[in-house]
Amino acid sequence: MLGVGDLQRSIDFYTHILGMKVLRQSENPEYKYTPLAFVGYGPESENSVLELTYNWGTEKYDMGTAYGHIALEVDNAADACERIRNAGGKVTRETGPVKGGTTVIAFIEDPDGYKVELIERHS
């Protein structure tokens, strides 16, 4: 679950920029959160999903020291960065090998500052 400051802005990022789909949404006015949006690349029964939650009146969260990043596998990290940049996304680490290794990675950032690692698929 990621706490987000603007639910629609986050949905737009994960769907338009990363190509996920909104799988379902729910709302709980009694506990002051508006919809939970579950986003992913396919059905929850077969894929991992992210839960985006907007808590009323909270526009920003402290990331703390335990959160690192989300990781997504991509066919080509450089192409993904270019596509993300052209769609208005923020690339924070350009494509290249991981320190001390050969795996090709890049990093992007969502509108709330959550880091997303793009890991290039090995052929």
**Residue 117 annotated as catalytic:** yes
Task: Say which of 30, 94, 117, 120 is annotated catalytic.
Answer: 117
| Nearest CA among 83, 77, 87, 75 for reference residue 107 | 77
Alpha-carbon torsion angle 69, 71, 76, 80, nearest 10 = -50
Residues annotated as catalytic (active site), given as ranges = 117
